[in-house]
Amino acid sequence: KSIGGSTSAEDAVEMTLSEFKDLVKDTSLETRDLKFDVMCNMFKKANALNNADAHAMRTEGRKTGSAKAEGASAKSGSKGSKRTGGARKLRDDELDQELVFYEFVEVLIRISFWRANPFHGIHKLAQQLVPLPDCLHQMLHEVVLPTARRDDSALFKEQLASDKSLQAVLAEFRAPLTEWFNTQTQSMFLRGEGRKLQYQAWQDVLKKKKHVGIWEINQDSEITGDERCRNKHRCALSLPQAKFAFSNSQSLDQMSVGVATDKDNMTTLDFEEFLECVARCGIDKYKAVRQMSAAAAIKGMIHNLLGIENEEEVMWANTLIKAERYNWKRFSGPLEGQTLSDHKKWLEVWQRIQVSDVYYFPL
């Protein structure tokens, strides 16, 4: 469901087209051969209440011109009361643009087959067929489930408090983050209102330093000619995500009903709440990069805030395919019957040899 939540119990079990678009964007379901407009057609086809209407439109489209005219005259000659505007609106509402769960599953099945077999039916371009359920299993476990947005804000507090690797990252950067926090809250502190980060100030920092947006890099490798370099890595953080991270980092006892000012506890973050907010933003930003653990994602967000690395550099450092080179200074030695002086001469020659462009160097 969308990050905004639902207003009724019925809405909570239905997915609108805009929410479906958010899902496609969050999980990067689009490919070079499958765009969102095609997915929209799948959305409409899976819509159970809209199937009858779509069938009527296709039947009408197959009629000849004379048949259409005859049908129109028959309709005009038929007796019956005219449809009022309210009745017409009610009928339009019945042809809903929302998916219930089984319709949503149907859309995922159609998308998975198209993604795995984009040229199915085109004999000259078709490759080996990836059948169901293999294509669905692959898409769910490699694309949808790792990156889909979940409402786990309450569980995150427990995870952050109990996970030693996450706490280790926050402890490592506690001092520089404290300095950053004090700088951002200096004006509020000088007014005698304590050191707290305001809601608007958090948004302003992210927008000014360009920490919200979409970033993409190509896979890099230390192996010459590595075929895996055709892959791309992408991370994203939107302003609504940053806002929700701010709100979810509040303590439950600070939440209240009524009008709140920009200085109340429920609209500001103290330092401990700020650390949680940074952790939430880091995991949201880098969750699409499968090579990055939660601890690495939090560390990457901290590097972004402190100006140590930008988003592309964080992704590059965590996704680089490394290949350890032979340490000739440590392990090389003279061959049997070779003098030490001859071996040193050979090492001088070896240092001047450039073979880094040889395919699959240095493996």
Domain ranges of the chain: 11-47+97-147, 153-319, 325-363
For the ranges 100-104, 269-273, 321-325, the one whose mean pLDDT is highest: 269-273
Which of 27-36, 145-154, 350-359: highest mean pLDDT?
Answer: 27-36
Q: How sure is the predictor about 258, in pLDDT bands with cuts at 50, 70 and 90?
A: very low
By the 10 Å C-beta count (0-12 exposed, 13-18 middle, 19+ buried), 102 is classed as exposed
- Which of 48-52, 55-59, 156-160, 265-269 is predicted most confidently? 156-160
Quote the pLDDT of residue 67.
56
- Compute the distance between CA of residue 154 and CA of residue 144 in angstroms, rounded to an integer: 22
Residue 260 or residue 159, greater confidence: 159
pLDDT computed for residue 125 by the predictor: 61
* pLDDT band of 265, cuts 50, 70, 90: low
Q: 300 pLDDT band (50/70/90 cuts)?
A: very high
H helical segments located in the chain? 17-27, 36-46, 48-61, 65-77, 85-94, 101-116, 134-139, 145-147, 153-162, 164-172, 174-184, 186-190, 199-208, 239-248, 271-286, 294-306, 311-319, 328-331, 340-352
Reported as a pLDDT band with limits 50, 70 and 90, residue 197 is: very high
Q: Supply angle C-alpha 105, 110, 116, rounded to 5.
A: 125
Q: What is the mean pLDDT of residues 50-55?
A: 53
Q: With the CA atoms of 284, 289, 293 and 298 taken in that order, what torsion angle do they form, in degrees rounded to the nearest 10?
A: -40
Q: Where residue 175 falls among pLDDT bands split at 50, 70, 90?
A: very high
Instruction: Give per-residue pLDDT as tens, 240-257.
Output: 889 889 988 887 655 544
* pLDDT for the residue 209: 92
Residue 214's DSSP bridge partners are: 236
More confident residue, 299 or 92: 299
Region 214-227 average pLDDT:
90
Higher per-residue confidence, 228 vs 294: 294
Mean pLDDT of 83-90: 51
